[in-house]
């Protein structure tokens, strides 16, 4: 055994209704004796999981993830939690604990470490390797020590005693977390499913049952598949289906799956080797996971079974298996480039078979459909997952598996997490079916505080500051909301620049303004509109410059006169950028006066 020490939304109104009859409903937090539980991300959304547990002068954090942006977040690479509260209280942070190595649980670590000094991160074996690779890419390798943990490990602080138990997920070394606090026990499941014939380590049913027997005050459980009835199929059933397809495919087989699903990747590689096929891996994230998987012993395929892109043409088609990223239709992923014919090494040959060992994530269906159409058009035989084929299984618990977790842990109170609002509500209903009273189920939002006091729970009236931070590139400071709004306006309505030349000495416009448009209207067909717009601005400026004014006032005058005119004519609101050019002589005079003033001072 190792030992290492803003107003109420409808959703919030519902939560207040839930605790109306509670004896604790009006109680204020006692920050010295109460234990606080709150999420900075992961509630009401899929991604950026970050759950905090606070008692007096100590905070421990479970997971530090990112969320990938929706299409309307133009130019945004990642969405991360707002770390402001933790920055203000970083002296309290005693541990960051990672449950497993998926991006929505570890992707925020480089940005977190840019804001907060942290001595140690506790992570299971495979997640540790992924985090080390990530920190190396961000040049943060020396910023924090990463300590490997397993189901026998302990993390102890003054107030917290943290233990772990094995769970099954779509990545190796996934852990659930047991947190012993002065006010009760908390279980945070991490992402999990129950698979009776798993690939790799099985769930530790005995330890979960023992934890439930000892007593759990609050259970926080993965809600991703709370609307999916029944139980998920086993990963071994997927392995059999892939093997059968590998055997009967006459030519090249291209398989696309989630890069993070290293157990699936290993099954695909093993099937290829068993069918005497050489393997080529494409896609940066897939190559990284494959490299780490081989180092960790999760992928046991010999080096001789791999080939490079340059060697693809040296083997017959029936001896080649290509594994690549792009199962979600990402435009720059390997499979999308193959479908478009722009990949450096691979061109689709009629007779190629493309297998999608995945399901489209909600919202990606159109992108995936587009890639499938392109592949079919150039002659590929495309096979997707279905209930009849079983080429994919989820890594998250369906309803019956969620019920099993609830019956094993037997929580006194329940807080569904890791899911959109509808998922949280459905998971709460499932908990009530297993015997948890409705008034002991907390459907929370990011920033809400659950208070543990003497093994009882209630929802506090206070909240922790939280928001979504939009990251462009590697800047953890994030983009302001105004930047996102401007990008949306540019995308939908375009830009109009107004160029005005003046002589500030005489408060005079030297010529009629010139208007340049990009993405607003087609200039050749709208010359009359732009000439009218120039005249509107010219008349407004002449009137404004009949008295002394400033450059700022002139810019406001341009916007206030042009924006209503353009909206009236086109029913569109482009971004208006005023550009004021001052005559050279006037600029020289201003500079001379400034210089003389400084000399006198």
Closest alpha carbon to 497 in 480, 482, 519: 519
The answer to whether the beta carbons of residues 342 and 377 sit under 8 Å apart is no
Verify whether residue 138 is a known catalytic residue.
Answer: no
CB 112 within 8 A of CB 140: no
CA dist 115 and 61 (Å) reads 15
Give the chain's end-to-end CA distance (angstroms, integer): 75
User: Who's near 491: CB < 8 A, 6+ residues apart?
Assistant: 74
Token pair belonging to 202: 């099985």
Tell me whether residue 561 is exposed, middle or buried, using C-beta atoms within 10 angstroms of its C-beta: 0 to 12, 13 to 18, 19 or more: buried
Q: Which stretches of 277-358 are assigned E, i.e. beta strand?
A: 278-282, 320-324, 353-356
How many Cα atoms are found within 13 Å in the side-chain-facing hemisphere of 222? 31
Rounded Cα–Cα distance for residues 250 and 46 (Å): 39
Beta strands in 473-532 (DSSP E): 495-503, 508-509, 514-518
81 with 51: CB under 8 angstroms?
A: no
Question: Quick check: helix, strand or coil at residue 186?
Answer: strand
What distance in Å separates the CA atoms of residue 122 and residue 400, rounded to the nearest whole number?
A: 31
- Identify the sign of the CA torsion 23, 29, 32, 35: positive
Tokens of 177: 């977390």
Catalytic residue among 100, 396, 418, 427: 396
Our answer to whether residue 102 is catalytic in this structure is: no
Structural element, H or E, at residue 97: strand 93-97
DSSP output for 433-456: HTT--GGGB----TTEEEEEETTE
Annotated catalytic residue: which of 104, 222, 352, 448? 222
C-alpha distances out from residue 283 to 190, 263, 303, 338, 345, Å: 27, 17, 18, 11, 12
Question: Among all residues, which ones are annotated catalytic?
Answer: 222, 396
């Amino acid at each position: 055994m190792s030992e290492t020490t803003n107003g109420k939304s409808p959703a919030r109104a519902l939560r207040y209704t839930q605790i109306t009859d509670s004896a604790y409903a009006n109680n204020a937090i006692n920050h010295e004796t109460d234990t606080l539980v709150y999420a900075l991300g992961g509630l009401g959304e899929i991604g950026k999981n970050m759950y905090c547990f606070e008692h007096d002068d100590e905070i421990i954090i479970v997971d530090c993830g990112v969320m990938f942006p929706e299409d309307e977040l133009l130019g945004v690479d990642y969405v991360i939690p707002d770390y402001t509260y933790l920055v203000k209280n970083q002296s309290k942070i005693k541990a960051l604990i990672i449950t497993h190595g998926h991006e929505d649980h570890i992707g925020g670590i480089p940005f977190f470490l840019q804001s907060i000094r942290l001595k140690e991160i506790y992570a299971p074996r495979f997640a540790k390797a992924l985090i080390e690779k990530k920190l190396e890419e961000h040049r943060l390798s020396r910023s924090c020590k990463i300590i490997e943990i397993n189901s026998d490990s302990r993390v102890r602080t003054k107030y917290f005693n943290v233990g772990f138990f094995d769970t099954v997920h779509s990545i190796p070394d996934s852990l659930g977390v047991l947190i012993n606090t002065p006010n009760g026990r908390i279980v945070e499941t991490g992402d999990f499913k129950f698979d009776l014939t798993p690939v790799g380590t099985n769930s530790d049913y005995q330890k979960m049952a023992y934890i439930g027997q000892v007593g759990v005050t609050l259970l926080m459980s993965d809600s991703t598949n709370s609307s999916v009835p029944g139980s998920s199929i086993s990963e071994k059933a997927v392995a059999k289906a892939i093997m059968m397809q590998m055997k009967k495919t006459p030519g090249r087989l291209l398989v696309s799956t989630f890069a993070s699903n290293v157990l699936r990747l290993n099954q695909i590689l093993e099937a290829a080797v068993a069918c005497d096929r050489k393997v080529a891996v494409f896609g940066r994230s897939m190559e990284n996971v494959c490299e780490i998987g081989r180092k960790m012993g999760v992928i046991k395929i010999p080096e001789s079974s791999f080939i490079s892109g340059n060697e693809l043409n040296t083997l017959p088609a029936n001896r080649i298996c290509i594994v690549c990223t792009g199962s979600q239709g990402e435009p720059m992923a390997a499979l999308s480039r193959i479908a478009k014919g722009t990949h450096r090494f691979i061109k689709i040959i009629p007779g190629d078979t493309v297998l999608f060992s995945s399901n489209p994530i909600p919202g990606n269906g159109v992108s995936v459909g587009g890639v499938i159409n392109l592949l079919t058009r150039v002659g590929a035989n495309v096979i997707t997952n279905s209930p009849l084929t079983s080429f994919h299984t989820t890594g998250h618990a369906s309803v019956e598996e969620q019920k099993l977790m609830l019956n094993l842990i037997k929580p006194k109170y329940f807080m569904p997490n890791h899911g959109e609002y509808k998922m949280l509500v459905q998971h709460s209903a499932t908990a009530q079916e297993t015997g948890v009273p409705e008034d002991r189920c907390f459907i929370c939002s990011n920033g809400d505080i659950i208070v543990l006091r003497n093994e009882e729970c209630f929802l506090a009236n206070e909240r922790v500051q939280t928001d979504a931070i939009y990251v462009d590139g590697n800047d953890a400071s994030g983009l302001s909301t105004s930047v996102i709004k401007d990008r949306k306006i540019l995308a939908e309505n375009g830009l109009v620049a107004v160029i005005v030349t003046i002589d500030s000495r005489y408060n005079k416009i030297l010529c009629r303004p010139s208007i340049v448009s990009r993405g607003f209207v087609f200039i050749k067909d709208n010359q009359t509109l732009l000439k009218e717009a120039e005249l509107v601005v010219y008349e407004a400026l002449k009137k404004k410059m009949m008295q002394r004014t400033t450059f700022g006032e002139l810019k406001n005058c341009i916007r206030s006169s042009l924006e209503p005119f353009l909206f009236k004519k086109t029913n569109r609101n482009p971004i208006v950028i005023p550009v004021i050019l001052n005559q050279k002589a006037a600029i020289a005079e201003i500079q001379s006066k400034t210089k003389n003033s400084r000399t006198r001072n």
